[in-house]
Copies of this chain bind each other. A is one copy, B any other.
């Protein structure tokens, strides 16, 4: 399965242990520069996650590698390292759950090297099984709308549908302010040989109205037990439009978060500076007040199905 993935989603393309530390691919600089951030320890890795060096499924792999690094080099501070990693991104419950469960198994005597290795393998298998289900939802001729950077499960679903002979194309909103769609999703799909069109964030409904979208598919930062989806801002707008046009909306998740309720969601609000600038380039007045809520909360009534390891729920 690893060889079907675009390069930046391979394990080495996300992060790698070398030179006594951890190299993390800096997704903020893709696709223009292919550089890595070097983290000498788990605290630096935690900072890197916090400052969006990697995101989506990236923090999970970085956290696993950072935990392994700490185990190998600074075992006395393993608990503190785990705590720092788990709080690096409040909404990433997959990472928190995984690190927590590994620490628990370790404290009851299991081998850390094996636990980490087993976790990497488990996620590979999960991506493979979920994308088998995702691919089955894509019909021949489908225009697929997405939002942000839906990573392994979506990429593999589209690739598998194409490999099974179905003609597909993907409409990719650029996803301001961080431009994950333009910087990550579009280059990945192109590398995989999938026809894709870059659009702006307000254009999803336009192409639905023209009848060019057959299915809407995104990742999910969180899925609550009542099927409420939490994902990148912009997801909601397209989900409402999909519902309006009778287009199915599926969200991919590695696991429903059974412990969370809607009231518990910590909404990350980021600095308006990222709206006023693109990289170093000002795109608005310095004096402009800008709002940047990180996530949309999408009511389950707008969600056709959640694509999980066990099937569509």
A-to-B contact residues, CB < 8 Å? 31-32, 147, 171, 173-177, 179, 182-183, 186-187, 190, 195-207, 209, 233-238, 240-241, 243-244, 272, 275-276, 278-279, 281-285, 287-293, 296-297
Decide: B275 and A199 in contact? CB cutoff 8 A. Answer: yes
If A290-B198, A291-B203 touch, whether A183 touches B279 (CB-CB below 8 Å) is no
Q: Which residue of B lies closest to A282 (CB)?
A: B32
| Number of this chain's copies in the complex | 2
A190 touches B288 (CB 8 A): yes
Q: Which residue on chain B has the smallest CB distance to residue A30?
A: B285
- Contact between chains at A198 and B272 (CB < 8 Å): yes
Interface of A is mostly: mixed
Query: Chain B nearest CB: distance from A209 CB in Å?
Result: 6
Whether A202 contacts B201 in the complex (CB less than 8 A), given A182-B283, A182-B284, A279-B281, comes out as yes
Q: Are B234 and A202 in contact (CB under 8 A)?
A: yes
Given A32-B282, A206-B233, A283-B278, are A176 and B198 also a contact pair (CB < 8 Å)?
no
Q: A190-B285, A190-B288 are in contact. Are A201 and B183 (CB under 8 A)?
A: no
Q: Which residues of B contact A209 (CB under 8 A)?
A: 236, 296-297
